[in-house]
Amino acid sequence: MITIEDLTFWYSKQNRIFEKLNLKLDAGHIYGLLGKNGAGKTTLLKLICGLSFPKSGTVSVDGQTPSKRKPGFLADIFFVPEEISVPSLTPGKFAEIHGSFYPAYDPAQFREFLGKFQVDTNQNFSNMSHGQKKKGVIAFGLATNTRYLFLDEPTNGLDIPSKAAFRSILAAYFSEEKTIIVSTHMVRELESMIDSVIILENRRIILKQTIDQIAQKFTFSHSSLSSSPGEMIYSVKSELGLSKISLNPSGIAGNVDLEALFNASINIPDKLSSYFEY
């Protein structure tokens, strides 16, 4: 379990990223971490990994303090940053060197993931495109089989077939003892993968719910001709026409439009969060 209590963090005192933020994340979920640029998505992941330190408050992962960077903690957590920096090695050599730090690392699984991503295990990273490098690191991160996996904008730089491969691999990799957080602003690419949503805005969490809980509370519809039986709480023009969010009087879960939900969280944050208890 990840537990964050009264977390305050800033890079400068005039620009606080978090102010007494509280959050609990359980195992067995793929969390979609959403927020505008600068909302603190990457910073939150770094705080959980122990790459940044709270100014006040606490961060705990299974009772361990990330900032202490103890070997047992590091062996069970993997972070794939948005900007990839890798040494001038082949993926095979990279994995040979770094895999020993992860007790559950599976080299056969690594080769399988590289194959699905169409990355040559014998080609040097220095000769690869940004997208190929990123796929190589993602493949290694998945093959470490850590209980905690954090992916920061993982589909940036990937082509359409690679994005499809990523979704397929992640779905097959996931198990109930794992906790995965995927930070992204490409919300439509996440809809088929995640089962829970965290939305950051204005130094706080606007929403943290499972997809099922959201679908039971709201209905999502499109075009000016469509109507919903419940009270409409938000609407925005989209390529599909008019996207609407309405209260769900039946409580029967339907589909969730993450893009419309994210837009609502930015424009009516207090109203949106008022429909849920934390």
Residue 114's CATH number:
3.40.50.300
Report yes or no on 125 lying in a domain.
Answer: yes
Report yes or no on 97 lying in a domain.
Answer: yes
Per DSSP, what are the bridge partners of residue 152?
183
Segment 190-214 shows an average pLDDT of 89
Residue 140 pLDDT level (bands cut at 50, 70, 90)? very high
pTM of this structure: 0.90
pLDDT in the model for residue 184 = 86
Report yes or no on 25 lying in a domain.
Answer: no
**Domain match, 84 and 128 both:** yes
* Of 46, 4, 17, 238, the residue nearest 152 (C-alpha): 46
Sheet order of strands, 2-12 included: 15-25, 2-12, 56-61
**Domain match, 147 and 253 both:** no
**Domain-terminating residue out of 176, 201, 226:** 201
**Domain match, 265 and 152 both:** no
Domain housing 169:
30-40+65-201
Residue 227 pLDDT level (bands cut at 50, 70, 90)? low
**Domain match, 222 and 196 both:** no
**Domain-terminating residue out of 160, 181, 201:** 201
Q: What is the pLDDT of residues 69-128, one digit of tens each?
A: 999 999 999 999 998 889 999 999 999 999 999 999 999 999 999 999 999 989 999 999
Alpha-carbon torsion angle 95, 98, 103, 107, nearest 10? 10
Report yes or no on 48 lying in a domain.
Answer: no
Place of tokens 């929403």: 207
Report yes or no on 252 lying in a domain.
Answer: yes
pLDDT in the model for residue 278 = 57
**Domain match, 195 and 73 both:** yes
Among the residue ranges 170-184, 193-207, 224-238, the one predicted with the least confidence is 224-238
